Amino acid sequence: MKITVVGASGLIGTRLSENLRRSGQEVMAASLSLGVDTVSGKGLEAVVAGTEVIVDVTNAASFGDRAALDFFKASTKNLLAAATEAGVRHYLALSVVGTPRLVEGDYFRAKMVQENLIRASGRPYTILRSTQFYEFISGLIDTGADGDVFRLPPAFMRPVAASDVAALLAELAVGAPLDDIAEISGPEQFGIDEIARIYLTANEDERQVVTDPSASYFGVELTEDALLPEAGARVATEKLSDWLYQSMGE
């Protein structure tokens, strides 16, 4: 099966491409660094020609202002147009758990627009919403930096390893379109403030975390369960402690 991975040079895209190739699929890798610009459309026609499945794991370079919205609108429209032209039978995209509850934030509003464009396109599709990646915990902690402390909310999250997300995307890519939304989360639940303390301790970082329910999450004030998946989400296997042990050894 010929599968085009768009965003193939990123955290998820590299792992996904490796998984698909190991399972015997023909992978066309597309990313800006490989000469394919989904915003302008440059290189799209050639990389999508003859493909059966498009997996969209692109991401905006900025989380703020209109940059994310402009990116996802242009990129998704161009990808869907290319999919229609090529007769692609399955459009699979990666999104974020909780997106409909987070649209006050610029980034999540942009992801909601992306999802709506896909659903309205008439193309057979699957959208996989994932919880936050372990690999992004450091960046999440940094959003709460306030002098020598971090102010973070206690809202719950179920973070997941990028490798587990890539594995499920590979499984979905070779299956029939769901024409629906699927979700994946990690096996454990933490407060954002709690996971920050665990991460900082593991990295021998003595800075303190202050629990602040009013602290925003990428521009959104969170309710307790805003970042949690719905019932029926796929639960991945890798625990935070295992991921930390592995990442500390790299």
- In which band, very low, low, confident or very high, does the pLDDT at 64 lie, cut at 50, 70 and 90? low
> Domain with 10 in it: what CATH number?
3.40.50.720
- The whole domain housing 160 covers 2-248
* b/e burial code for range 90-109 (CB count within 10 A of at least 16 → b): bbbbbbbbbbeebbebbbbb
What confidence tens digit (pLDDT) does each residue in 86-116 have? Answer: 999 999 999 999 999 999 999 999 999 999 9
pLDDT of residue 65: 63
Which residues, including other chains, have CB under 8 Å from residue 96's CB and lie 6 or more apart? 102, 108, 111, 129, 130, 131
Q: Are 145 and 210 in contact (CB under 8 A)?
A: no
Mean pLDDT throughout 225-234? 96
pLDDT of residue 247: 83
pTM score above 0.85: yes
Secondary structure class of 48 (helix, strand, coil): helix
> Dihedral (C-alpha) 175, 230, 64, 195: value to the nearest 10 degrees?
-110
Measuring CA to CA, how many Å separate 48 from each of 2, 6, 86?
A: 9, 10, 7
Count up the domains in the chain and report the number.
Answer: 1
The length of the chain in residues reads 250
Secondary structure class of 231 (helix, strand, coil): coil
Is 90 exceeded by the pLDDT of residue 136? yes
pLDDT of residue 248: 73
In the structure encoding, which two tokens stand for residue 133, read together? 């990646």
User: Which helix (H) or strand (E) segment is 227 a member of?
Assistant: none
Is 70 exceeded by the pLDDT of residue 21? yes
Is 60 exceeded by the pLDDT of residue 205? yes
What confidence tens digit (pLDDT) does each residue in 72-81 have? Answer: 999 999 999 9
